[in-house]
């Protein structure tokens, strides 16, 4: 008897998720990318030290602030592009390049993101959470129509 309401709820929830996934995913990605980029632009991001330290570590310290602001603008652009289904390909392409860059400290600047092997500090956890953003974006890609010949 108890299983009937659970099954009804389960079916209704799955239908809701299928119907609303696209806009929820797009809104979530917009908020995350745009907001985090905006925080960088106004000097309030907790990732400032990591990003500037990584630039210096990679020999680009003289351009660290310029690169940091460029990254912030790119994050804002990704966020805005995510809101428009017709711009999904562009958003995902830029996001892929962004993810390669922002995840690279896990390997290239390990001393800043790992306490010891397989134990990330808070900055490392901040980077690793990007896997969830990639999965969310892949859900949008899965719903994108393939390009066709004209």
* Domain ranges (residues) in the chain: 17-142
Percent of the chain with pLDDT strictly greater than 70: 99
Residue 64 has pLDDT above 70, yes or no: yes
**Helix 88-103 to helix 130-142 angle, to the nearest 10 degrees?**
160
70-129 pLDDT, tens digit each:
999 999 999 999 999 999 999 999 999 999 999 999 999 999 999 999 999 999 999 999
Mean pLDDT of the chain, nearest integer: 94
Average of per-residue pLDDT across 38-54 = 94
Write the CB contacts of 71 (distance below 8 Å, at least 6 apart in sequence): 37, 40, 51, 98, 101, 102
Give the per-residue pLDDT at 148. 84
Looking at residue 109, what is its pLDDT? Answer: 96
Q: How far apart are CA 34 and CA 93, in angstroms?
A: 16
pLDDT surpassing 80 at residue 2: no
Q: Is the pTM of this model over 0.85?
A: yes
What percent of the chain is modeled with pLDDT above 90? 89
Task: Return the pLDDT at 1.
Answer: 67
Which neighbouring-strand residues pair with 116?
Answer: 119
Quick one: pLDDT at residue 3? 81
| C-alpha–C-alpha distance, residues 140 and 134, integer Å | 10
């Amino acid at each position: 008897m108890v299983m009937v309401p659970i099954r009804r709820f389960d079916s209704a929830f799955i239908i809701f998720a299928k119907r609303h996934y696209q806009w929820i995913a797009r809104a979530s990605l917009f908020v995350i990318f745009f907001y985090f980029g905006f925080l960088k632009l106004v000097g309030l991001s907790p990732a400032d030290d990591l990003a500037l330290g990584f630039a210096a570590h990679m020999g680009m310290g003289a351009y660290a602030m310029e690169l940091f602001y460029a990254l912030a603008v790119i994050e804002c652009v990704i966020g805005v592009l995510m809101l428009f289904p017709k711009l999904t390909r562009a958003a995902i392409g830029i996001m892929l390049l962004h993810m390669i860059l922002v995840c690279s400290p896990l390997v290239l600047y390990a001393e800043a993101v790992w306490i010891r092997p397989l134990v990330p500090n808070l900055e490392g956890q901040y980077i690793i959470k990007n896997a969830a953003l990639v999965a969310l974006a892949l859900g949008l890609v899965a719903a994108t129509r393939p390009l066709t010949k004209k």
